[in-house]
Amino acid sequence: MLTELETLSQNIGKLIAISQRHNEARQALETQLANVRAESEATRAELAQMREERDALQAERDALSAKIDDAQVRLNAILEKLPRARSHSEPDNQLDLLAPAHESEHGAQHAEEAGSEVTRHGENA
């Protein structure tokens, strides 16, 4: 009977040790869980703040886009009211018609002289 009591006492001691280990592990897991929950809540708060910032930036972007569109419309209206600049193909008066023709004749003479000089240089070489 004494051996049975000793065996029973040893088993009870083992059960108490096992129970303590399980209790410590449970407490550690509860602490971890509390930390993870706090971290999760902080992340949710940060996410909500980021969403608010995103929404504010989107609203600002939309407002700026509307301002750009308005400015573009006003700019186009101003450009339509301005007199059109004449292009090079639209002469201001008839004297301008003579100048390009005179220059082209002069340019053709110059090209012929340059061509003959090249020929002469080729012969001298």
Q: Which pTM does this prediction carry?
A: 0.48
**What band does 11 get if pLDDT is binned at 50, 70 and 90?**
very high
Let me know: does 92 contact 86? Beta carbons within 8 Å: yes
Longest dimension (CA), the chain: 138
Per-domain residue ranges of the chain: 26-79, 94-125
Three-state helix/strand/coil letters over 5-18: HHHHHHHHHHHHHH
Q: Provide the token pair at 14.
A: 């083992």
pLDDT at residue 118, rounded to an integer: 47
pLDDT at residue 125, rounded to an integer: 44
Closest CA relative to residue 88, chosen from 102, 99, 76, 79: 99
Q: pLDDT over 90 for what percent of the chain?
A: 62
**What band does 108 get if pLDDT is binned at 50, 70 and 90?**
low
Interatomic CA distance for residues 49 and 20, integer angstroms: 43
